[in-house]
Amino acid sequence: MMANNFMNIMIETINGCYKFDSKDKLSLYLLDKAQEISKFLKNKKFLIGNNICYIDFLVFELLELVFLVTDGKVFTEFDNLSSYHQRI
C-alpha cells in the first residue's frame, strides 16, 4: 500500500514536468510533493523504519529530480530529506 502511495507521488511529479510552462511553477509543485514525503518520513532513518527497502531507492531517484529542478531548495527547506538522501 505504501509503495502505491509513493508511486502515485512519483507519477504526479513526472506528469508535473509536462504540465507546467515554467520552471518556477514546476519547482513549487515539486516542493509541495517533497513536503508530503517529508511529513511521512519525519525523523525515521528510512521510510519503513531502520531498514532500507526498494521504496527508498524510488524516493531517492525522485529527490534527485526535485533537487535538479528546484536548484537544491528541496534540501534546504526539508532538512530531514537532506539527511535521508545522504543515508541512501
Q: 2: pLDDT confidence band, cut at 50, 70 and 90? A: low
- Burial annotation 40-59 (CB, 10 A radius, 16+ → b, else e): ebeeeebbeeeeeeebbebb
Percent over 90 (pLDDT), the chain: 53
The domain defined by 2-87 folds into Glutathione S-transferase Yfyf (Class Pi); Chain A, domain 2 (1.20.1050)
Q: 51: pLDDT confidence band, cut at 50, 70 and 90? A: very high
Cα 61–chain centre separation = 8
Ranges of each domain in the chain:
2-87
Distance CA 44, CA 16 (A): 27
Residue 6 has pLDDT above 80, yes or no: no
- The better pLDDT of the pair 17, 73 is held by 73
Report residue 21: phi and psi, to 5°. Answer: -95, 0
